Chain A
């Protein structure tokens, strides 16, 4: 199966919110409340348990005679935010139940019938995407329209986008396309256009990339997102050391077992998170992280085996 991805190009976004509505309609996501925010035309405000696509409205300084997408200045920008479906997904790595799994499209999917609502994923997400629904406590986020992809259809948001601001396709193709688009925009004088795809952090790149103008942080896209598990090695070392000193000689007798159950396997997670996928793959069953989980929940396709 191909690795699929989104490329959301804010320079083409007209802020119509069709993606938000199509996502909710198709996925039967409930409304998020009827509060007027006063924040430009944005009343859903952020991604959350019941908003899986979110169009942000950024009003910046205006000047007479300059449209928002002219080469000169941003005035009112729109960008449709979505789960990044990280190469190394903090939510997935934090999930203790195996509810969150990686699909055969390399997207990150929450199985709602397995999720027990522990909320570890919420703090594990470097982008603040995944969120628990207050009424039943389970965690929800963009499914990347997994069922539609299985049926050979593109996700609902990409399907309805009237200006092709949201593109769906194979990751490598979209990356190449994004590079071409950036070149094109620069050549047209839109010199502040950048591709947001943090490949040089522990996230290792994302499967929902963005083209924005100016500083991505203005669009709620962090400059250096990190998967929390990269801190695990240090955390476990400290824990092991503390245990060693506290328990002393008694503990030595069990060192071998302790090494097996604690020390070694987190390091595998660590390497998977920080390094290349290939390196991680060498340490476990081939593609264990990518097997389809649909028919046998919890048996395959989750990172629980590693923990």
Chain B
């Protein structure tokens, strides 16, 4: 999560959901929290009951809006304009919490003279290379600093991990930085920020977002009032921000706002990244991603040329700040992977790690599959035939594999793409000519296996097994362990270099029970870390060493199993409102990160009401209601001596200890691929052009991955005049594998529907309860029409824009079936995380059912030819 990672130092939600109850205002944007996180939403309700203002900004009036004090609509994908105008509102009125902003953020830091803003260059920052389609970021650095990445230099820019996207890690020195604490220097971040957002006015919001000006002002006033020593506000977001071609920058805009208002590291403040389902946070901490290793260590990149451990550490470590410890964490990880085979002489097996050689993200490898470049695929707990973007392309691509393994609770559409997909009905796939061999392996459900989930607030919670899995169903741990065991056995006598890492891999977990289930607590202990010599568990990451004497599977989780018999993830005695004693929150059980900022620079609480962590002068240590996210004995007036490194190089009033300068980053000098500040761009497809930068309608480095089966239409195209967005319902689970097959859930939302406004229904002649056919350049689906005033048609730049909402849960199988909304979505890549844009593309809507069989494709082509433009003129 580079939005948070680059802003604050760690890519995780900064606070705990319980703490939302302490907020004076809660802004929910890019999320329908009440629907997708109903359990955590209780704390938002509690905040409201205690007098907080709950604000929901969303294109749709959802169940979250219904619980809010204020709901305002906006056009999907224009969040940066809305947030930018809130930033401008704060700056124009001097509402920033200056006593916080000056010491704790880089607002005072001077930026290099060669930096040029999007306002100077009509839509791009300095460093844009139009040919390479990427930025050289050197000019974004602090005054007098060098490094960054050159667009033309593959070594520096090919890899994501290289730039430390999830952590604000940076391969360059940022200290000491030149600062002007009066915030007057024309090149200080604060002044650049002011100029950058000066055009983000309430009028622009009305023109671009379609949000009436007075409604915007109401939100800006209500939220910016929750600021100061005695007040805080919290922001919650989810996939409504992340799934955009500029999603990281939406989160960045929120991070800037929160820093200006002094809301980070304080009770009732923070930014809560709401994760979509169980252990999604865990799957980035110990990643299923291709570009990072456990604990946000970058995956080595072939082109970066870091072919020795020393060069890897040099490129990814920092001289100052916490990432100075990179060597300890990577060596301990390698010791956990390779055990005795990892020695100082062989760089602890560093060169056995795979290298990134290209785009191995979901979109990247699926395009490779479409091109016939992949032979096999494992699908665990995922149903891309329904849940992934351009699911038509994805289903067809599956037919290019030699083999496909699907592990799931039920036979999902991914496992049956070859016999009952819409492509079979349309004659695009013929079962008899598909060579893919499909293996369907029954998986154990969450009650049939034990282990850890890491939830949305970085909380590790142990889950016990209630019953044995039925029949041949097995846990994922079982499957991976026994697969690894068999592969190791096969490779044991094959000493080719390609097998060296596999042969060296430690794979010695004990198993138990009739089915030889691996002992999962042993895995958690490995993650926690041990001393190699005597095998004793370490009590936390401060004990990890770079000399090979410790092994640790994920340094940020270290401390979860500090001694035998003490699995802190399984602790169930909550002692306070933050839940200490219940589970284990990484890092080091800190529930609110960066909590040094909850005290003034001198170490005293900002106020009695908002106290959390403070300096106890008598005991000479930090203390309080949370575990301090700070070196406990470092006094507030500590000044680093010359030549100090690591955490010692940060002063006693620098709360963001992961960053090389200890500051919160209003300005991101390095780590992002699309700019040091958020800027307004339209989605990759849009009914309107970019009001500020007509030459750069969408995020310049975003990748549309445009090709024959992943088509787009240009801005303002009359063939597809409406805004399209997809989302989930409370009643279903993502692609439906865990809900469409269960009667008690399936009956609650039994059919695919399209939510449209009464205005749109009237325009196209659709009837509530009838059918509508929704199409995009990628595909065509049919849905029941749910005509509701909760969908708002907005007046944007003088014309009426209709928005169409499609929940995406249905497919061809289960108790309830329907078309898949993801057939309409394009595969695309946001530049930092390579996520697709699912909110804010465009579509065509017409009453009636879609054509069957091949006629559906004919219809789509006729739409592309423009045969149906006159059917539904956009009203003016």
Contacts and interface: CB of A to CB of B under 8 A. Distances in A.
A62 B769 contact: no
A36 B63 contact: no
Contact of A31 (B48, B71, B744, B769): B744
A25 B748 CA distance: 14
Given A21-B745, A31-B744, A35-B750, A68 B65 contact: yes
Contact of B215 (A36, A64, A76): A64
A12 B47 CA distance: 12
B48 A76 contact: no
Nearest to B768: A38
A215 to B, nearest CB: 18
B744 A70 contact: no
Interface string A59-78: 10110111111100001111
B160 to A, nearest CB: 36
A50 B711 CA distance: 47
Contacts of A21: 744-745, 748
A32 B743 CA distance: 9
Interface string B62-103: 011111111111000000000000000000000000000000
B212 A64 contact: yes
Contacts of B731: 17, 41
A231 interface: no
Closest 3 CB pairs of A and B: A68-B66, A67-B68, A31-B743
Given A16-B34, A38-B769, A76 B748 contact: no
Contacts, number: 129
B615 interface: no
A202 B28 CA distance: 46
A67 B38 contact: no
B788 interface: yes
A31 B742 CA distance: 9
B65 A67 contact: yes
Given A14-B34, A67-B70, A163-B45, A38 B790 contact: no
Interface string A1-41: 00000000000101111101100110000111111101011
Contacts of B56: 67
A11 B183 CA distance: 46
Most chain A CB inside 10 Å of its own CB: which residue of B38, B66, B743, B815? B66
A43 interface: yes
Interface residues of A, number: 39
Contact of A14 (B38, B746, B753): B38
Contact of B38 (A16, A66, A77): A16
B41 interface: yes
Contacts of A14: 34-35, 38, 41, 45, 63-64, 66-67
A164 interface: yes
Given A16-B730, A43-B748, A66 B71 contact: yes
B747 A31 contact: yes
Interface string B388-415: 0000000000000000000000000000
A44 interface: yes
A162 interface: yes
A204 to B, nearest CB: 32
B24 to A, nearest CB: 15
Contacts of B49: 12
A20 B731 CA distance: 11
A164 B49 CA distance: 12
Contacts of A41: 63, 729, 731, 749
Given A32-B747, A75-B61, A66 B729 contact: no
Interface in B725-764: 729-731, 743-751, 753
Interface in B183-217: 212, 214-215
Most chain B CB inside 10 Å of its own CB: which residue of A34, A75, A78, A164? A34
Given A34-B746, A34-B750, A43-B750, 12 more contacts: A18-B38, A21-B748, A31-B746, A36-B749, A36-B753, A41-B731, A43-B748, A64-B72, A67-B71, A75-B61, A76-B790, A162-B39
Interface string B357-396: 0000000000000000000000000000000000000000
A17 B218 CA distance: 32
B730 A33 contact: no
B845 to A, nearest CB: 17
A61 B789 CA distance: 8
A62 B61 contact: yes
22 contacts: A12-B45, A15-B730, A16-B63, A18-B38, A25-B744, A31-B743, A34-B815, A36-B749, A38-B786, A59-B790, A64-B73, A65-B71, A65-B218, A75-B61, A75-B65, A76-B65, A76-B790, A78-B63, A78-B66, A162-B42, A163-B41, A163-B42
A34 B792 CA distance: 29
Contact of A65 (B215, B786, B815): B215
B802 interface: no
A30 B66 contact: no
Interface in A76-100: 76-78
Nearest to B752: A36
B393 to A, nearest CB: 28
Interface of B: 34-35, 38-39, 41-42, 45, 48-49, 54, 56, 61, 63-73, 212, 214-215, 218, 729-731, 743-751, 753, 768-769, 784, 786, 788-790, 792, 815-816
Nearest to B38: A16
Contacts of A20: 744, 748
B169 to A, nearest CB: 37
A77 B750 CA distance: 21
Interface in A213-236: none
A134 to B, nearest CB: 16
A285 to B, nearest CB: 42
Contacts of A65: 70-72, 212, 214-215, 218
Nearest to B37: A162
B52 to A, nearest CB: 12
A73 to B, nearest CB: 11
Given A62-B789, A163-B41, A36 B784 contact: yes
Contacts of B747: 31-34, 43-44
Contacts of B730: 15-17
Contacts of A17: 730-731, 748
A75 B64 CA distance: 12
A18 to B, nearest CB: 7
A33 B215 CA distance: 42
A64 B74 CA distance: 11
Nearest to A12: B45
Contacts of A76: 61, 63, 65-66, 790
A59 B35 CA distance: 16
A40 B748 CA distance: 11
B38 A59 contact: no
Contacts of B72: 64-65
Given A36-B753, A41-B749, A16 B69 contact: no
Nearest to B816: A34
Contacts of A164: 42
A261 to B, nearest CB: 48
A125 B45 CA distance: 35
A57 B841 CA distance: 29
A68 B790 CA distance: 11
A305 B461 CA distance: 55
Contacts of A25: 744
Contacts of A36: 749-751, 753, 784
A20 B786 CA distance: 22
A81 to B, nearest CB: 15
A85 to B, nearest CB: 23
Given A24-B744, A30-B743, A162-B39, A67 B45 contact: no
A93 to B, nearest CB: 33
A35 to B, nearest CB: 6
A36 B39 CA distance: 26
A20 B753 CA distance: 22
A59 B62 CA distance: 11
B219 to A, nearest CB: 8
A66 B789 CA distance: 13
